[in-house]
Chains A and B, each alone.
Chain A
Amino acid sequence: MGEHGADAEHKLTEERLALLSVLQELTVAALDLLDPNKPADDFLDRVAERLGCAVALWLQSDARGQVCLQGSSGLSAASRQLPLGGLTQDSLSYPELASPGLVRWSVPIEAAGPASSVLLLYFDREPHLPRQYRGMVERLGGVLRTALIHRQLFARTLESERALQHERDFSSAVLDTARALVIVLDPEGRIVRFNRACQEMTGYSFEELRGAYFWTRLQPPEEAARVARNFAVLAEGRGFEQAENHWLTRGGERRLISWSSNVLRGESGAIEYVIGTGIDITDHRRAEQERDQTFQREQQARARAEEQEGRSALLAEASGLLTGSLAPEDALRSVAALTVQRFADWCAVDLLGGSHACQRITEARSEALRATSPARMQCALPDLNAAHGPGRVLRLGEPEFCPEGCAAMSLGCVRNGQALTEVVEFQSWISVPLLARDHALGALTLARLEGSGPYGPADFALAQELARRAAMALDNARLYQQAQLAVGLRDEFLSIASHELKTPVTSLQLSVQGLMRLGRTGALRTASVEAVTHSLEVIERQAKRMAKLVNTLLDVSRIHAGRLELEFEEVDLAALVRDVAARFAPELATSGTRLLVHADTPVPGVWDRSRLDQIVTNLLSNAIKYGEGRPIELRVEGDAVMARLEVQDQGIGIPAERHARIFRAFERAVSSRHYGGLGLGLHIVNQLVERLGGSVRVESETGQGATFTVELPRRGPTASPAVDPAVQEGP
């Protein structure tokens, strides 16, 4: 009996141990059910294995009584696919449950709410299990209930997390899809989000920058401090919502970003995030700048074209004025007036006189200049010794250009203020010479006030062109005047020459006619010898006079044609002068002029005797002609190199302004009506002296007589570098 009792106790112990083991194992297995991802099938497999079930099912009914299979063990794959709609646990139609004799344990698993759950265990036959197993299974049902609740909670949690993750993924996808740069920062400025556009633009991945202060990683060093300060203000919820700054890419490229920032506040109102939305405007800004530059270039080009057009128009108009007038000074005044309308605030034209004196032809002022200095403004004549300004230009014949900021004092314009005299401050000025045939005729000076814009190189070129045209017009006008004068002289000469030739011809005709009349009447044979001789002498004298006139004209013609032939030989100038003086004795006697000859010392030289004779003759003839009968002195001097002849009269004299002209052809210092002659004597003297290598000059004043001085190289024109070699060598 005791042994039997021990066996029973042992059996009971083993049963309890088995029960405990099964409960333990299944409870542990049930813990896996807390994870909704773990299939309930695994748990039910364990249940079926340990309890010896043929089939284990976990059915779930919803509030509408719809049954679904949470898990199963012992159901084939095909059975698990069977629909359960409308079934209850008592009407399950799985083929596995069709076997006769199946014993079912049904364990309700009470769940919160209207849903219900049940664990169904099917045995092939009545299971030989200790009775405690019903209780264990019910206890297991309690575990399953808890597990189910957790499973559902966990499932909902997972679903929520999935939904949240989905929302996050969606947000991320939206952020990543956005072409704009989106960066999310915590209130300290650390990067929390960094969308794909940011990653693509910077070359950094989000993971590389997560948690970094954005200004330390993305901002150029020189901007970092400022951006950090601005961010601090923004993170306090104040200001700087719109900003532009640079980001530095991984490759070191600077990108200009236009930011719009917002803050995201938590429930407490505290700022949790700062969200920056940016657009990379680097290319846009660059394009804008290029467009602006292009626009500016076009504007400048248009302005230049307009300026050029203005200059061309000005030039054209000025040229019209200059070429349309034979009065150059009037034209220059018109040009100056035109210039101050278009090109300058002040314009002056200065011309050089014969003695390098300066004369201001015109001075024009713009409306603007007149407005700033009404009436009281005065401009001095150029100082030819000045270091700058029109005086220098006149002196050197070189232009001067003051683009900007030079001293305007050089222009010599001042305005009288209430107390002080002040220089008119021109911003920019140009002074250009009026050059014609390498000679400065004058200067054109232009100036601009502040506000009219400084002169540029193109303006300088325009001024030079204007000056060139003005100079050409001026020169042409002067040449025209000279030509007119020359024509007048020529006409006067022709008149004189005709008269001079007609006088002897008339005398000749009278004498010849007288002789012919004597001859036709036969009276010639009876006429007195004295009368015939007188007529013949008249004829001879008039013929000589005509020959002399013709020779003079031939000489001038030869000189001008370059065909004058010289025959050099040793000639004593003193002896030659004495001979000529002697030859003029009758005329001197006729005019009652006393001639004093100082030619006692021989002054030999290599000259053309006849031409030297002609020089002395012409000068002495002139002295007698204009000497008004007063004494004339002839003086011959010389040194080793030069010989000097001086012819001095005390006659009517020559005005100083005519000194230069008396040596020209057909020029004369006095009217031909009072003094006969062709007016070619001094011109021939001048030409011959030059051919002999010397020079001639006059010193005279009106009414004070005249002194002509001829200097000749004693060794002939070879001694003088000025001589024409062609003349020396002869034709």
Chain B
Amino acid sequence: MKSILLTTVAVAIIGGGILYGERLAKDKPRDDGRVVITYWEKWSAFEKEAMEAVVNEFNDSQEKIFVKFVSVAGISNKITLATAGGVPPDVAGLFGGNLAQYAYHESVMPLDELAAESGISPDDYIPVYYDMCTYRGKLWALPSTPASTALHFNKAILREVGWDPENPPKTIEELDKLDKLAAIKNGDKMERMGFLPTEPGWWPFAWGPLFGGQLWNGYDKLTLTDPDVIRGYEWFGSYAEKYGSGTVQSFKEGLGTFNSPQNAFMDGRVATVMQGVWMANFIEMNNKDLEWAAAPFPTPADRPDLVNPTIIDLDILVIPRGAKHPKEAFEFIKFVQSQKGMELLCMGQKKNSPLKKVSKEFIENHPNPYVQLFTDLAYSPNVIVPPKTPIWPQLSQEIRTATEKINGGTDPKEALQDVQNKMQPLLDDIVKYEKARGVLTEEEIAKAKAGGKP
């Protein structure tokens, strides 16, 4: 009797567990009959809140669609798995640099038709941002928030070392000079540097292009050992060489995380830093009293043609393949693309707008006093954009490893040759496949040969 009772209880608990688990996995329909679309986004904190405000605005304006906003960490892997598993969200917010990979595998939907129907035109956007949403002639995404970068400098340190704080370095040579002046070395330890190429170290691919080198020809050949690329990495490596690679590494490791008062730039341990449009906001949060300004990043003195370089970052919205409500999903994306939606979002995230048309209030009320500079830089002919190729996730990691090797004393040419040798065959496979599928057309190749830049 007792054992029957026990068995019954056990079966009941397990059954309950199964049923409850199943219920959790189901989407709950809404009482008002609106179509619920799921939107996965990578952001956290205030960036997430800014997008939530846009989502709320959209939901309030709607009677047919309801957007369920979900914040997801490690979104790149997650979205691949969910798409492969047949349970993708309806909209996903991804990193623009990875778009080529999604487009190549067609794991996101082409948006050309939906965009045309909605009257969204390439002419609405700053060219570089729209271009980042395309791959092999098709549109696969639309921007959420864009960014560009500039040199941020600590005016107090410049003044302290006798540098005119209104006149930051314009050439790489001047930057090196400023670094020499501002650096403080105490025995084996660095206490301050004028500039540190690995702080924050988010764009290891940018140093070659900064010196005019191209990482590839735009369609089938990597050119990582191009003399200009190597020159960029020689300069990058010169900082570890100058002070000793171990010393610089220890210094770097002692620096606090980006979003904290211990951030190297915020607490005055580096005098200048390459940072994005978001930096002003973090300075405001973590060290209000910092006396700082922003200017275009310096260029080599012998390359005046490269002035106003800027690294372009873009967050994008996509509709994963297999999404249950693509039409409704695009309704929401369209709302984000409107000037109103976009300015609400970009203002909330303290970034510039990817749209050409910007309201006066946006610039005037923007919390970043240099928002105009960042907007202008996005129009620069010398924008630095990650190569639009499906091998980018791996290539960027390989380049990062190469920069670690260069910092450890390896010859830049050798380190880059390794990457070239490893990655070129992978690109070859992709080009072969794309040509066979007719995706890589003569028109595309001609465009790449013409410079590839928008």
Q: Do A and B bind each other?
A: no
Give A contacts to B, CB under 8 Å.
none
